Structure 1
Amino acid sequence: HSPVLASTNPAVISYDPAYGYEMAHIVRTGIERMYGGEHPDPNVMYYITVYNEPALQPAEPENVDVDGIVRGIHLVGKNAASGHKAKILASGVAIPWALEAQQLLLEWGVSADVWSVTSWTELRKDGLASDEQKFLYPNSDPTMPYLTGKLADSEGPTLGVSDFMHSVPDMIRPWISGDYATLGADGFGFSDTRAAARRYFKIDGPSIAVRVLEQLVVDQKIDPSVPQLAIDKYRLHEVAAGTSGTAGGDA
């Protein structure tokens, strides 16, 4: 829940990046803001979560969305396959599970896009600023929240997930159009591996896939029997069946 705690201090800019190239742009922007002498508000501090779990680091894509990385969200997994549409918003170490879920969903005829949320808190700040502008200046042209604009052309329900509790992805709920569900690691987990912990909390790849399928049932896009079929196939109720996670990097 550290991003929630960070959000209580307005001077803290909090990030939960997934990849090294995201980190590079965040750090560069932070140095420029605090020490470049040109930003109107340099008196800030940065809180960046960095994980010790081994993970493959992709090269920075061509034409990477640097503005999106810095402002809080960018697309990392566009799915061009045909099928019912959905959006998976994930941050930090949850990105590999989201990409895993993207592949699993193809088996059920679902084409999901994966977005990396580098900062839930910056998206929330932007949304609140937009709401305040509408509230105090009702006769002026309203500003669209950055998050709302980024997802405007995307179809289907949206799911938010991270390695933190539900309240982290819940931060951005007011500015997402349509159905929005979240998964989180609330409470105490009893497990001996990362994969088992994520299965216990139902935040691993198969859990994400099943939750998206349930959202599509609500939207009347797929048959109501499909989620249970997926639960049985992935043995979702078995903690030891989890595979979303790697060994190594332990403190």
Structure 2
Amino acid sequence: MTDHSTNHTYGGIQHEDVDPTETHEWLESIDSIVKVHGTERAHFLLEHMVDHVRRSGGYLPFSQNTAYLNTIPVGQQPNYPGERHLEKRIEAYLRWNAMAMVVHANRKNTEYGGHIASYASSAILYEVGFNHFWKAPQEGHPGDMIFVQGHSSPGVYARAYLEGRISETQLRNFRQEVTVFGNEEPGLSSYPHPWLMPDFWQFPTVSMGLGPMMGIYQARFQRYMENRGLTPKSDRKVWCFLGDGEMDEPESMGAITLPVREGLDNLVFVINCNLQRLDGPVRGNGKIIQELESSFRGAGWNVIKVIWGSRWDPLLAKDNQGLLRKRMEECVDGEYQNFKANDGEYARREFFGKYPELQAMVASMSAEEIQRLNRGGHDALKVYAAYAEAMQNNGRPTLILAKTVKGYGMGAAGQAQNTTHQQKKLSKDDLVAFRDRFNIPVSDAQIDDLPFVKPE
């Protein structure tokens, strides 16, 4: 759909269109080339024209950024193979049990710690992988390698509990690795820890920043072994799950050019961009997704952005003037946090209210419907499309930037709040709200006991 607005943002810089009619004619020409000759021909012509302007003495600022939109258009999304109604119920149980084990531990001793909000933001990112992409070791396949982001470990334990691989006693002893007196079952390590739990975890990922560095060299060593006939060639992938705040650690990005030089298309980074670090915003007055995209694209990675969920698709489809896209570009991460920390009326006023046309676009929507406009990392269809694209990528490593809400589903107890990373306990009212939000079969009489639950 053609954008007829007179102001456009490219690479974070606003440009005024002094001749919209001429611009429209150029866009029509490009549309025709794409239709007749394909995108590669259109890309060649555009690059040739940019080079021609530079050689003519024109200064063209360089940017590796693309628009603040999903990389994969709606029309190119593959069909989702799962039963979402069933997957959603499982995800609800995982969220509850992951939260419950942290709260139980801190009822015993507040020094035990733990993190509720990290897995709350990344549950869909892991579940789409577990359900549809990751392979266990089997005949003819050595199994994929998964670097789990350290603070999300409660969610992986919660899944193992539903699978029957760990017991309720172990969940109740989260972060209490030493065998409890009179009980032969040890507790669960705080973070992914193969030395303490060799039959469970593949790789250690804490301290922060070690996961991405180790993932790169793991993918390189795997390819080294295959190329020398020491192990059979396979489509084995190395998946690294990281946090956006974690990417400020020096180790996180210290070797990102290596997998490009080595052609490591067996490597996939998934960065959970919930916009918050341990103690506040990652980039309150900027856009961490755009910053990371620029760095990784500049290094030569294949970058896939998963920013907006499916509920935004109808609004973007009727954004004929480009004002919605313009507003998406204008807002910084601190504002996006506020939109999710407050109710739908706040978003109507502060996000859509800047332009009368946008306000009219959502006039028929309730505050609840506006609040439910989801981010890409909470939409299994969008995440699946990104993962499927990563599996088809050849010759380069892939980075997936998934935008999420830290503390998703925690409501007033911590959703999108700066304190949410340190949230270890929930009040009874917060537990009731969490239960109702995800429809967990726990009665009011049971809520104080905070039972772990399994589907019947």
Give TM-score, length-normalised by structure 1: 0.32
- Whichever structure has more strand as a proportion of its residues is 1
Higher normalized helix content (fraction of residues): 2
Based on CA coordinates, which of the two structures has the bigger radius of gyration? 2
